[in-house]
Amino acid sequence: MQAMANNATTFSDLDNLHAGDDWTAQQNTTILPPKIPIISIPTSLSGGEYSFLGGGTNDKTHHKHGFGKPTKGPALVILDPELTTTTPENIWLQSGVRAVDHCVEGMCSLSSTIASDADAAKGLRLLVPGLLRCKSNGKDLEARRECQMGVVEAMKVVFVHGVPMGASHGIGHQLGPLGVGHGETSCILLPAVCAYNVDVNSDRQAKVMSVLWEDEEVSRMLTAKGFRREEASLGEMLHVFIAELGMPRSLKGVGVVGKAKLDLLAENSLRDRWCGTNPRPLRVKGEVMEILEMVKG
Q: How far is CA 247 from CA 105, 167, 239, 253, in A?
A: 19, 19, 10, 10
Q: Please report the pLDDT score of residue 36 as a whole number.
A: 83
Question: Per residue in 173-218, pLDDT tens?
Answer: 999 999 999 899 999 999 999 999 999 999 999 999 999 999 999 9
Q: Please report the pLDDT score of residue 190 as a whole number.
A: 98
Q: Which of the listed ranges 7-11, 270-274, 288-292 does the model predict with the highest average pLDDT?
A: 288-292
* Per-residue pLDDT at 22 exceeds 60: no
Question: Per residue in 66-106, pLDDT tens?
Answer: 666 667 778 899 999 999 999 999 999 999 999 999 999 99
Cα 220 → chain centroid = 26
Region 262-288: what's the mean pLDDT? 96
Nearest-angstrom CA–CA distance, 254 and 74: 31
Q: Please report the pLDDT score of residue 63 as a whole number.
A: 66
CA distance between the termini of the chain: 39
Q: Please report the pLDDT score of residue 29 as a whole number.
A: 66
Model pTM score: 0.86
The model's confidence at residue 50, banded by pLDDT at 50, 70 and 90, is confident
The model's confidence at residue 135, banded by pLDDT at 50, 70 and 90, is very high
Question: Per residue in 99-126, pLDDT tens?
Answer: 999 999 999 999 999 999 999 999 999 9
Q: Which domains does the chain have, with CATH numbers?
A: 84-295 (1.20.1090.10)
Biggest distance spanned by C-alpha atoms of the chain:
58
Nearest-angstrom CA–CA distance, 189 and 182: 11
Nearest-angstrom CA–CA distance, 292 and 196: 11
Please name which of 244, 88, 258, 268 lies closest in space to residue 176, comparing C-alpha atoms.
Answer: 268
* Per-residue pLDDT at 131 exceeds 70: yes
Nearest-angstrom CA–CA distance, 153 and 160: 10
Question: Per residue in 222-272, pLDDT tens?
Answer: 999 999 998 899 999 999 999 999 999 999 999 999 999 999 999 999 999
